[in-house]
């Protein structure tokens, strides 16, 4: 990249942050999360001449990399907020939630594909694409509303992490299927299971023994603690990608592993946690949400509206029905179920990746590929907005019914319905 191109890149970044700042200020007047401003700025700029400028290979590579860093830092910070001991208290309910909120989208997705005349093999795979949740889109909104430690936040994070297992299985099945079709083999299901097993063992070893090893270690300064955190973050994010689990899972577990270390370092750990939050939401998170919005192509939705709508409803209605079943089971109240059902509907990367893999291997046709991309893109627009509005108007009820381990007084002091709003 020459100086001329570098200058353009800095100007583009300046424009993106300036527009996000302005739109975020307007959003704050309506008590909407400012992080959503970047999403809508990206959508708006995708209709301008900037679209062709940023889709030049060099710029596209840079923004994709920065967006990936955004996912890493956002979910690393989320991982720092997760207390596994407290989450275990709701583990059975989270497991039920995961089963119900994935089963119905899968069934509806299979039925939709069979209705359109696709075979059982494609129907099963496409049904699985309706199941996962892109928690990277929803969890930052929960955090901005100070609801990570509520029942709603705990359930969404827990189910989202378990959904990532489904994503791994889905990508693994598709990769093996494509390998069979094309004659290429990347290790098959055995290599995938070995990778998952090794990742979980390493996570357990670090979580169990790292605090003991570093028990008497106190970071001399903030820089040292930051460097050590980055080693863990990039190490687990990279290894997660290497074994095909994904950097999302790696980043979350990196945060969980570092949480005890941050607590032992007291003031420095608290300061670094706040610094991580600032970097995540003030820089990388903005670029992540901008790039999501910038790559949403509403033209795809208009090309195949009926099939795209059917796929969209398969996931949205299926997840909502699944979560609502927990109301008569006395595990959630109605408002909690609706908020969680909408939040778990967020889709983003895995579905589009799978669609691209299948289309490139000529396993699905252009009509289905376009509809899959359109349906996932549509959730990236509608779900954050609906989720935000539901929390805005129903969140107080959700906060009133928090998990026993959470401090209601502390939550109420910071949450959005207090007089001092976002």
pLDDT digits (tens, 9 = 90+) for 305-351: 888 888 888 888 888 898 898 888 888 888 888 888 888 887 765 66
59 CB-near residues (< 8 Å, 6+ apart): 5, 9, 12, 53
Label residue 362 left, alpha or beta by phi (over 0 means left) and psi (-120 to 50 means alpha).
left
pLDDT of residue 415: 36
Q: What is the mean pLDDT of residues 140-163?
A: 75
For every residue of 310-343, DSSP letters joined together read HHHHHHHHHHHHHHHTTTTTTSS-HHHHHHHHHH
**What pLDDT is recorded for position 420?**
31
Q: Higher model confidence: residue 292 or residue 259?
A: 259
Average the pLDDT over 267-281 and give the result. Answer: 81
The domains located in the chain, with CATH, are: 3-414 (1.20.1530.20)
Mean pLDDT, residues 160-184 taken together: 61
pLDDT in tens, 39-93: 788 888 888 888 777 777 778 888 888 888 887 887 788 778 766 666 666 577 7
CA distance linking residue 305 with residue 313, whole number of Å: 12
Q: What is the pLDDT of residue 17?
A: 93
Residue with tokens 């996570």: 203
- In whole numbers, what is the pLDDT of the chain averaged over residues? 76
User: Which residues touch 136 (CB under 8 Å, ≥6 apart)?
Assistant: 71, 74, 75, 248, 288, 348
Residue 209 has pLDDT above 50, yes or no: yes
Q: Which pLDDT does position 18 carry in this prediction? A: 93
The tokens for 190 are 């055995």
φ/ψ (deg, to 5) at 405: -75, -15
Whether residue 195 is predicted with pLDDT greater than 70 in this model: the reply is: yes
Provide the pLDDT for residue 32. 60
Query: Does residue 214 surpass a pLDDT of 80?
Result: no
Q: What CA–CA distance (Å, rounded) separates 188 from 9?
A: 41
Q: Tell whether the model's pLDDT for residue 391 goes beyond 90.
A: no
Judge whether residue 397 has pLDDT over 80.
no
Q: What is the DSSP string of 340-368?
A: HHHHTT---SHHHHHHHHHHHTTSS-HHH
Q: What is the rounded end-to-end Cα distance, in angstroms, of the chain? A: 40
Average pLDDT rounded to a whole number, residues 118-123: 84
d(CA 136, CA 308): 23
User: Is 70 exceeded by the pLDDT of residue 164?
Assistant: no
How does pLDDT run across 404-416, given as a tens digit for each residue?
A: 434 333 333 433 3
């Amino acid at each position: 990249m020459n100086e001329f191109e570098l200058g353009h890149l800095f100007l583009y970044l300046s424009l993106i942050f300036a527009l996000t700042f302005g739109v975020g200020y307007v959003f704050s007047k309506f008590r909407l999360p400012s992080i959503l401003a970047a999403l809508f700025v990206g959508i708006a700029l995708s209709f301008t001449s900037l679209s062709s400028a940023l889709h030049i290979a060099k710029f596209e590579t840079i923004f994709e990399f920065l967006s990936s860093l955004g996912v890493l830092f956002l979910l690393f910070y989320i991982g720092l907020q997760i207390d596994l001991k407290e989450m275990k208290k709701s583990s059975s309910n989270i497991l039920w939630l995961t089963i119900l909120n994935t089963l119905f989208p899968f069934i509806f997705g299979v039925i939709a594909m069979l209705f359109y005349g696709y075979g059982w093999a494609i129907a099963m795979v496409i049904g699985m694409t309706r199941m996962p949740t892109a928690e990277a889109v929803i969890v930052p909104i929960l955090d901005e509303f100070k609801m990570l430690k509520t029942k709603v936040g705990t359930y969404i994070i827990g189910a989202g992490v378990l959904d990532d297992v489904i994503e791994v299985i889905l990508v693994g099945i598709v990769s093996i299927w494509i390998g069979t079709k094309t004659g290429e083999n990347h290790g098959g299901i055995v290599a995938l299971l070995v990778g998952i097993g090794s990742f979980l063992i390493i996570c357990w070893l670090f979580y169990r023994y790292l605090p003991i090893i570093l028990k008497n270690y106190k970071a001399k300064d903030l820089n040292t603690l930051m460097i050590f955190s980055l080693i863990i973050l990039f190490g687990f994010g990279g290894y997660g990608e290497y074994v095909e689990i994904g950097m999302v899972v790696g980043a979350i577990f990196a945060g969980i592993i570092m949480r005890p270390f941050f607590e032992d370092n007291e003031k420095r750990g608290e300061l670094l946690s706040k610094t991580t939050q600032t970097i995540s939401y003030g820089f990388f998170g903005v670029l992540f949400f901008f790039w999501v919005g910038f790559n949403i192509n509403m033209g795809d939705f208009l090309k195949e509206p009926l099939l795209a709508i059917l796929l969209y409803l398969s996931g949205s209605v299926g997840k909502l029905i699944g979560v609502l079943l927990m109301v008569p089971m006395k595990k959630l109240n109605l408002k909690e179920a609706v908020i969680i059902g909408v939040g778990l509907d967020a889709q983003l990367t895995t579905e589009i990746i799978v669609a691209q893999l299948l289309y490139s291997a000529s396993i699905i046709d252009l009509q289905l590929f376009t509809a899959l991309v359109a349906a996932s893109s549509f959730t990236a627009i509608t779900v954050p907005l609906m989720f935000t509005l539901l929390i805005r108007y129903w969140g107080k009820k959700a906060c009133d019914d928090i998990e026993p381990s959470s401090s209601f007084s502390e939550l109420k002091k910071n949450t959005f319905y207090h007089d001092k709003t976002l």
